[in-house]
Structure 1
């Protein structure tokens, strides 16, 4: 069986994963009261680093980021002057991330 995927489809799927990881990182860092929130946020950002390396090796990093920004604009997240939109982060986590997480095998 052969599986073909277009570059456009690959970029969209990688962008969805990038947005998923960034939303989760911000959700853990800005909205939860859990003591390990810094550790959980960092864990998600480790996934971002891995994804960046893969996308860079494939030569699609810029396109992936452009698509991911359409889902969630995380450009200034984590900077000192960043003011998180907590209701938006919660909404995206519930409506975008939770359905994706439910489809994944338990880790």
Structure 2
């Protein structure tokens, strides 16, 4: 009878440990949601490019500003595509979020760093 009780207790502890580890390592990361404010990043870059165009004195400076805008568009798309892999979470636009949730992770600063803003 003592052996049976000992086996039962050990089995229950092993099962509970497995469930806890599964929840911690698998389920909880899947519930993480990353949000990014794409409009804020675009508006910040737009302001910089408008200022660069307004301050430009030659066609060469204007061409450089246009080339910078094209580089930004390409880098923005690739940086946005890399975010879900880096955080191992679902990434959605901040404008789509209604209400707040404790599992939300703001990735806007990460996106700004990736596009060198």
Shorter-chain TM-score tier: 0.3 to 0.5
TM-score (norm. length: structure 1):
0.36
Which structure's residues are more often strand, by fraction? 2
